[in-house]
Amino acid sequence: MKPLLRLPRKTLKRGWDWLTAAAVFLCLAGLKCFPARQGIAFFAWLARFLGPLTRRHQVALRNLRAAFPEKSEQERRAIARGMWDNVGRLFAEYVYLDKIFDFDPLAEKPGLVEVSGRDLFIKLRDEKKPHIFFTAHTGNFELLPICAAAFDLNVTALFRPPNNPYIAKRVLKARRTNMGHLVPSKAGSAWALANVLEKGGNVGVLVDQKFNRGIKGRFFNRPVKTNPLLAKLARQFDCAVYPVRCIRLPEGRYRLELYPALTLPRRKDGTIDIIAATQKLNLIVESWVREYPEQWLWFHKRWKNGRK
């Protein structure tokens, strides 16, 4: 009888997912009727209004209290509101990704996007060996694979699909159109990335997500678990690891920054120290978040219940 009792709940969840996805797709379709700047600004305003009314806002505030105990509650709430602005923009920018990315290395005057590390992009493109790139959920991180593609640098990115299966299917289709090769985060994804590196390709990984089976470390001086996949791949293939991030600038502009290769901690036998290397990634992401705290997604449950 138990399977039969579960059936209505599954059916209701499927129906709710479908309705939610339909509402999201309707919003995105309506968004296409507006110019990019106005559409993005509207959703930023909408998110700033609706975000604080959700349960996720309380998660964000709890995370901010854990990360910034020295800040006042007023400062933390201002960061949370800025985060919702970023979330609204990120949602709307899915529609305008091709219009937003207007970077032209030959243009005399920069457009919406400026790139720091252009020479490094070109150098890596011309190298006949594998590379690993990592970033975090800061600014519009979705622009980074598009930027790599603009330099003819092919990157296979690992991403976590949305929980809603209907939205996940649409997002995956859109990302394949705009961002090249993708590997959904699930069983077998590590093998897929390893296969890319073995063939001399490049992979990109987001490293700031909670991973229950991950390595214990510190983030904002509080215990977290982090996926050691990047460090393991770097050790297995002995390939260079490059930090890259997106920063939102005033007036709806963006700066994409590619940094030189990291020097990862190594053990006495010369191999990469997985635990120390993973912690180094945490510290780099933390420095990015401290610099632009309103541009990180604080509503993720990075810390368990916000406790030590």
In this structure, are 39 and 111 located in the same domain? no
Enclosing domain of residue 155: 105-295
In this structure, are 83 and 172 located in the same domain? no
Rounded to two decimals, what is the model's pTM? 0.87
Region 208-235: mean pLDDT is: 92
In this structure, are 118 and 257 located in the same domain? yes
In this structure, are 20 and 113 located in the same domain? no
Does any domain span residue 145? yes
pLDDT-derived band at 308 (thresholds 50, 70, 90) equals very low
In this structure, are 147 and 270 located in the same domain? yes
- Residue-wise pLDDT for 234-275, tens only, equals 999 999 999 999 999 999 999 999 999 999 999 999 999 999
In this structure, are 171 and 252 located in the same domain? yes
Answer yes or no: is pLDDT of 217 > 90: yes
- Residue-wise pLDDT for 117-137, tens only, equals 999 999 999 998 999 999 999
In this structure, are 26 and 159 located in the same domain? no
Does any domain span residue 304? no
Q: At what angle do helices 36-50 and 73-93 cross, to 10 degrees?
A: 140
Does any domain span residue 306? no
pLDDT-derived band at 1 (thresholds 50, 70, 90) equals very low
Distances 156 to 19, 83, 131, 192, 261 between C-alpha atoms, Å = 32, 28, 11, 9, 18
In this structure, are 115 and 202 located in the same domain? yes
DSSP string, 30-63: HHTTS-HHHHHHHHHHHHHHHGGGSHHHHHHHHH
Would you mind telling me the total number of residues written for the chain in this entry? 308
In this structure, are 143 and 121 located in the same domain? yes
* pLDDT at residue 124, rounded to an integer: 94
Q: Which of 93, 117, 138 is the last residue of a domain?
A: 93
**For the chain, how many structural domains are there in total?**
2
Q: Sign of dihedral through CA atoms 225, 229, 232, 238?
A: negative
Does any domain span residue 264? yes
Does any domain span residue 302? no
